[in-house]
Amino acid sequence: MVMQSMLKKLAKEHGTPLFVVDHKVLRNNVAQFKKYLPRVQPYYAVKANSDPAIVKTLYKAGASFDVASMPEFLIVHENIKNLPEKERQAYIWDKIIYANPIKANETLVELDPYKPLVTYDNYEEIEKIRKYAPHAGLALRLKVPNTGAMVELSSKFGAAPGEAVNLIEAAHKAGLIVEGLSFHVGSQCTNFENYVQALNLAASVFREAKSRGYQLKLLDIGGGFPAPYDDNVEPFKALARKLNAELKRLFPKEIEILAEPGRFMVATSATLIAKVIGKAERDGKQCYYINDGVYHTYSGVIFDHCHYPVKAFKKGPTRICAVFGPTCDALDTIGLSEELPDLERGDLVYSENIGAYSHASSTWFNGFPPAKVLHINQ
């Protein structure tokens, strides 16, 4: 965590809004994941924050990558393009998964020369992959419970477990190879039983596939690993203990296990510093207007159902306040119950743990540019 004195110094030097990414935290997060889940290879979900500098640091720290578009694939590929061709292809096969179950024909054509591992969850996708990316390996995505997740994904993706082996068989009949299964329990999943249920469903599909002559070799347990936004989130090692026990019980050692942590890797690595540009009292409530908002770094308030507490550097008695972004849209509301002291125009505020699904979705709405990004401890 960057100290307040350092944050104020950086804001004075670089201006605001300022998005500060601490690469020491990124490296620590990779190390923690590997320490507590030694059997699971982390494939960083690039969509959480696709900044090339972040990808480079995670690459050097030993992470693999989950991509969901060609631009994301190419950001990762930039780190390995100078490797010898044989090593580069080996990395793509072993260290990148294209985990978007639905892909445009044009995307599949671009992917095919790289012979990637891709996910699918329906018969139509099998036909597309057969036609446009026949050199790809496949992982079937299962629909699993998303109860208790901050962002659920099962309504959009995932094959019903009951039709899973039929989809595996259909892919093999199309001349494709299904390497294994994948699932996603939902983003910021604090209900660890989702993982237990999903792993048991996957194990059942493994057994049924084997009984019908299809030997699966890998399991992608997806993302959902919760970031420690507050004290209500159980420690990562508690989830890891549960996962390790279930993986040992259900899946032989020869089954390769991978995961797609995104939020877990980057949420705690970034802090946003903003400036108060206006204040008013409305209906008895103090309102502050700052130079960043939900169309920019606080986009996670809308798209990620996330709350990033706004904190002040100034000390003093606090009261419940509203904090708004700089645009003319009333939707640009950061929070209606922030605890802040009396602030003046020009005072600085900040929000911690804002590295995931935030700056990645920034726009230029109303002509306001995204926050400047500053990388430290690279």
Residues facing 257 on adjacent strands: 40, 219
Element (H, E) at 150: strand 149-151
Q: Residue 160 burial (CB < 10 Å; 0-12/13-18/19+)? A: exposed
User: Considering Cα of 331, then 334, then 335, then 336, what sign does the dihedral take?
Assistant: negative
**Residue reference for tokens 């809308």:** 302
Q: With H, G, I as helix, E, B as strand and everything else as coil, classify residue 335.
A: strand
Q: If we measure between CA atoms, which residue out of 97, 87, 68 comes closest to residue 220?
A: 97
Q: Is 189 in the active site?
A: no
User: Considering Cα of 142, then 145, then 149, then 152, what sign does the dihedral take?
Assistant: positive
Q: With H, G, I as helix, E, B as strand and everything else as coil, classify residue 88.
A: helix
- Judge contact between 279 and 345, C-beta under 8 A: yes
Q: CA dist 346 to 11, 321, 324, 365, Å?
A: 12, 17, 15, 23
Q: Copy the structure tokens of residue 149.
A: 């997740």
Query: b/e map of 104-115 (b: 16 or more CB within 10 Å)?
Result: eeebbebbbebe
**Residues identified as active-site:** 328
